Structure 1
Amino acid sequence: MNARVLISVMDSAKFNSKSPTIRRILKEAQELASSPSPDYCAAPSESDLFEWHFTFKGPPNSVYSQGIYHGRIVLPPAYPLRPPSFRFMTPSGRFETNREICLSISGHHEETWQPAWGIRTALVALRSFMETDAKGQLGGLDTTDQIRKHLAAESLSYLCPACGKTNADIIKDCHEQSESNGILSSGAPEIEVPSELKMGWKDEMSPETTVGKSPDQPAEATPPAQSDTHSGSLRPESNLNRTASAVRATNSRRSPTQNGPAVSMRVGQAQHPSLPPGVPRWLDQLIIFLIVILAAAILHRLMSTAATTV
């Protein structure tokens, strides 16, 4: 896990250097190799650019301070849009071994990972999580501090089959590289762990993109969508608009033959108003005829009276 590994990977023709994901991974690998830390290191394997190995010292002033812990990092094809997953290979008494860990805002939805974060930030955050109280915490193992100190002492001799070195030898190389680069004298670069960054087991994370709430803190980064009931109470006119649109859509789907009888019926009703039930139409016409005859007789009588008077 040194610069030679990075050169070997970069010289390989097994990947597309034009891919944004590949360029991002190579950039981070180069940055970690050129600015190593005496407390941790990470590098891609010689055969797979998406599989890394990491090693770091236990957090100071903790039961893990005398230990050195090793593990694997798996980068997803969509990295950095999706977070890397970490898997501890060295027993620590804090985390389960060989179980994938993902980092995100909520700790339950990997989609809340921020692409601006990188492997170095995630590695420093994971190291800082070790010194938190494991009791009641996600991934915390129920064991004693004495066992954790015993595992820390044994961790130095752990030998990774892929790396071919013990944890103690790997950290020794990191220390020497930092010293040769002048980092020990000038001080290692400070990496600020985002306060909203949390960890979670990958096999327990939600596959959906909708961000939920973690048990201890609500995920405020993505507010929940409003329900239909809530939207209706705020904007009642939206229901009327939807009803009017539905009526227009229904009318537009009617065929001309369906519209024809309806129009004819409405015209017929306007020309011939409906009569009270039981009254025949000829009786109505007879009444009108008698009224006309009576009016003509009255008019004739008035004209005759006027002529006699004259």
Structure 2
Amino acid sequence: MATSQSALLLQKQLNELLKHPVEGFSAGLADNDNIYEWEIIIIGPPDTLYEGGFFRAKMTFPKEYPLMPPKLKFISDMWHPNVYPDGEVCISILHPPGEDKYGYEDAGERWRPVHTVETILLSVISMLSSPNDESPANIEAAKEWRENYPAFKKHVQRIVRNAIG
């Protein structure tokens, strides 16, 4: 029962995005037979180091969606303090609901069922614009961001060149 409800909700969100595209990203199914796996293209936000890049990502939804968050993973190379070296995005709204056992995040910053594909992707675009280096997923990228910004900028420019549509 929950699976069919989550599938219906995801289909509704997909239809809405297809009817009313949102600037900054495009989303669609990776496979027409699997509503739980989406292909995403995130366009590097204007006036950021990522401007001009078209970054491929995969969003995988759990059967418990919207009670639990999806996972978002860049397939394109990504160099960012809030993206693990394997491409997985680490932002508060993608963390399971409830209290943070480490005390870094307020429960209100974490996943809530009101979030949609659109709000998640807008948060990721915002993350690209302003990294949070306080609790980095990629320690090396965060260290470079803080200690050697020119090198960080060069690194990002290289991945953007490779991610041009």
TM range (shorter): 0.7 to 0.9
Q: In 2, are the aligned partners of 1:41 and 1:55 still within 8 Å (CA)?
A: yes
Give, in whole Å, the separation in 2 of the partners of 1:27 and 1:37. 15
Q: 2:161 aligns with which of 153, 165, 170?
A: 153
Letter in 1 for 2:114: A
User: Cα offset for 1:133?
Assistant: 3.7
Alpha-carbon distance in 1 for matches of 2:4, 2:133: 43
- Distance across 1 between alignment mates of 2:133 and 2:24: 26
Residues 1:121 and 1:133: Cα distance change in structure 2 (over 3 Å): closer
Matched residue, 2:12 = 27
- Could you say what secondary structure the match of 1:73 adopts? strand
- Residue 255 (structure 1) aligns with: none
Higher RCO, 1 vs 2 (CA within 8 Å, ≥6 residues apart): 2
The letter of the residue matching 2:89 is I
2:112 corresponding residue in structure 1: 114
Cross-structure match for 2:73: 87
- Say if 2:17 and 2:27, in contact at 8 Å, map to a contact too: yes
Aligned-residue offset at 1:111: 1.9
Pick aligned residue for 2:39 from 24, 47, 53: 53
Counterparts of 1:96 and 1:124 in 2: how far apart (Å)?
Answer: 19
- The answer on 1:37 being equivalent to 2:19 is no
- Structure 1 residue 104: Cα displacement: 3.8
Please, what is the CA RMSD of the aligned residues? 2.4
Match of 2:126 in 1: 128
Whole-Å separation in 2 of the counterparts to 1:119 and 1:23: 14
Distance, in Å, in 2 between the alignment partners of 1:21 and 1:102 is 23
Partner Cα distance (2:45, 2:11) in 1: 28
AA partner of residue 86 (structure 1)? L
Q: Do 1:57 and 1:67's aligned partners in 2 also have CA atoms closer than 8 Å? A: yes
Q: Which string of whole-angstrom CA distances, capped at 9 and with x for unpartnered residues, describes residues 32-59 of structure 1? A: 1101134211112223210111001112
- Report how far residue 145 of structure 1 moved: 0.4
Q: Distance in 1 between matches of 2:54 and 2:132?
A: 18
TM superposition shift of 1:116:
0.9
SS of structure 1 residue aligned to 2:161: helix
SS at match of 1:110: coil
Q: Check 1:102–1:96 CA distance in 2 against 1; reply closer, same or farther (3 A cut).
A: closer
1:169-227 superposed Cα distances (whole Å, 9 cap, x missing partner): xxxxxxxxxxxxxxxxxxxxxxxxxxxxxxxxxxxxxxxxxxxxxxxxxxxxxxxxxxx
Distance 2:17 2:156 in 1: 29
TM-score, normalising length: structure 2: 0.74
Number of matched pairs: 140
User: CA distance change for structure 1 residues 152 and 57 in 2, over 3 Å: closer, same or farther?
Assistant: same
Closer/same/farther in 2, CA of residues 22 and 41 from structure 1, 3 Å limit? same
Superimposed CA distance per residue, residues 147-180 of structure 1 (whole angstroms, 9 cap, x where no aligned partner)? 2112111111xxxxxxxxxxx2xxxxxxxxxxxx
Question: Which of the two has greater helix per residue?
Answer: 1
Partners of 2:125 and 2:10 lie apart in 1 by 21
2:24/2:45 contact within 8 Å kept: no
